[in-house]
Amino acid sequence: MRAGSVGIFDSGIGGLSVLKALRAELPHANFLYIADSGHAPYGERDEAHVIARSRALTTHLLDQGVQALVIACNTATAAAIDLLRAENPQLPIIGVEPALKPAAALSKTRRIGVMATRSTLGSARFRALLGSLATQAEFVLQPCDGLADAIERGVASAANPPTATEIIAACAHHTRAMGQFGLQDGEIDTLVLGCTHYPFASAVLRELVGPDVHLVDTGEAVARQTRLRLAGAVPPGAADSAPGRISLFSTGQAAHLQAAAQRWLQLDGPVETLHFQEQSAQVYQGLGP
Ligand code: DGL
Sign of CA pseudo-dihedral 67, 83, 122, 186: negative
Which pLDDT value is given to residue 288? 32
Sign of CA pseudo-dihedral 21, 27, 28, 33: positive
From the CA of 184, how far away is ligand 1's center (Å)?
31
Q: Which of 33, 34, 39, 42 to mutate to test the pocket of ligand 1 (most atoms within 8 A of CB)?
A: 42
Q: Is 171 a catalytic residue?
A: no
**Counting beta carbons within 10 angstroms of the beta carbon of residue 139, is it exposed (0 to 12), middle (13 to 18) or buried (19 or more)?**
buried
Quote the strand ranges of the chain, DSSP E.
Answer: 5-10, 30-35, 68-71, 93-94, 111-116, 138-143, 190-193, 214-216, 246-250, 271-273
Q: How confident is the model at residue 163 (pLDDT cuts 50, 70, 90)?
A: low
**3 φψ region: left (φ > 0), alpha (ψ -120 to 50), beta (else):** beta
CB 58 within 8 A of CB 32: no
Q: Which pTM value belongs to this model?
A: 0.91
Judge whether residue 287 has pLDDT over 60: no
Identify which has the larger pLDDT, 286 or 160. 160
Count Cα atoms within 13 angstroms, Cβ side, for 109: 20
Sign of CA pseudo-dihedral 98, 104, 105, 107: positive
- Yes or no: domain 6-96+220-287 corresponds to CATH 3.40.50.1860: yes
Which pLDDT value is given to residue 93? 97
Q: Which of 19, 70, 96, 117 to mutate to test the pocket of ligand 1 (most atoms within 8 A of CB)?
A: 117
195 in contact with ligand 1, CB cutoff 6 A: yes
Q: How far is Cα of residue 253 from the mean position of the Cα atoms in its chain?
A: 19
113 in contact with ligand 1, CB cutoff 6 A: no
Summarize the confidence of residues 33-53 as an average pLDDT.
Answer: 95
pLDDT in tens, 212-270: 999 999 999 999 999 998 876 655 554 557 889 999 999 998 988 999 999 899 999 89
Residue type, 51: I
CATH number of 100-217: 3.40.50.1860
Identify which has the larger pLDDT, 165 or 35. 35
| Residues above pLDDT 90, as percent of the chain | 80
* Domain residue spans of the chain: 6-96+220-287, 100-217
**Which residues make Cβ contacts (< 8 Å) with residue 221, sequence separation at least 6?**
99, 102
